[in-house]
Amino acid sequence: MPKITSQQLRKRTQESAANASIKPKTIVSPYDKSSKKTGKGGASNGANGGSDGSRHFGPMFNKDLGQHILINPLVSQGIVDKANLKQTDVVLEVGPGTGNLTVKILEQAKRVIACEADARLAAELTKRVQGGPFQHKLEIIHGDVMKQTLPYFDVCISNTPYQISSPLTFKLIFHRPIFRCAVLMFQREFALRLVARPGDSLYGRLSVNCQLYSKVTHVMSVGKNNFKPPPNVESSVVRIEPLDPPPPVDFEEWDGMVRIAFSRKNKTLAANFKSTATMQMLENNYKTYCAANELMVESDFDIKKKVLGVLEDLSLSETRASKMDVVDFLKLLSAFHDADIHFC
């Protein structure tokens, strides 16, 4: 991962400022094409100035990153408290902005590695800690976290840019070595989807995939007035604790099956699996698997009969994916594999 010095940050800041508009602009989330609603991008945690170390940097905002400053110090402290930091912890912070959350982490952790995509905000954070007691504890990495190879860390804390919520979640879940926990701020609906249980209206493929590899809990609701400028969506903080050891499951196989099951989550499994496209894909996979393992394809082979037979044997034909938990899906995947049915 590339490291940058204060001198490099200042140079990048000067170059960015030359191209930046002087007039403050309304910050619009990049995933809202209508530009009429804004979501909290999460890449900013505050800046110097004011009793809480925050002020409104209009020209510094990058609307492509959806930046909104977290201005409530009680919320920042609450996020850090939920991480249960130790003095020996190395903390990865994604989207530190200008550092309201960062300085609270630095007070409790051994070291903080902050990944910031905006060179101007990275320079502001560098200036904030420069010459202070935390300077030697902070390492700043400038760049898109999704393009970085993550370093070793014990805990991840992030006021997450909403446009990378899902990819960041799974980048963390699949990170090795396994870390202790992540405390992440998300858009309220996304957070509730992560923690949803069978039968909940928001329960779906995202819920199942995340809960396969981790314990996820909702720890805090954060109103939009805790940000400046305030977004049009509410936020929530979740705590993710990866399972150690992780389940011995091929994720591509798992996700292929779960994708079919939730293709119409309120339809029965039988209805979803016997669609023409699904049957054709499973038949091709079956024949490929048999050829690769030198197995004979039965002369009376019928993929539809084989698939529905697996569902019937488990008494799941009339079951809906929205009512199944992770254990149910694990049993189903195992039964399909026993029948040489694969999903990738």
- 68 labeled binding residue: yes
- 159 labeled binding residue: yes
- Encode the chain in three state secondary structure: CCCCCHHHHHHHHHHHHHHCCCCCCCCCCCCCCCCCCCCCCCCECCCCCCCCCCCCCCCCCCHHHCCCEECCHHHHHHHHHHCCCCCCCEEEEECCCCCHHHHHHHCCCCEEEEEECCHHHHHHHHHHHCCCCCHHHEEEEECCHHHCCCCCCCEEEEECCHHHHHHHHHHHHCCCCCCCEEEEEEEHHHHHHHHCCCCCCCCCHHHHHHHHHEEEEEEEEECHHHEECCCCCCEEEEEEEECCCCCCCCHHHHHHHHHHHCCCCCCEHHHHHCCHHHHHHHHHHHHHHHHHCCCCCCCCCCHHHHHHHHHHHCCCCCCEHHHCCHHHHHHHHHHHHHCCCCCC
CB atoms within 10 A of CB 57: 21
- 116 labeled binding residue: yes
In the block, which residue shows the tokens 């963390």? Answer: 172
- 252 labeled binding residue: no
Cβ neighbours of residue 291 closer than 8 Å, sequence gap 6 or more: none
Bind-site residues for S-adenosyl-L-methionine: 68, 70, 95, 116, 144, 159
Bind-site residues: 68, 70, 95, 116, 144, 159
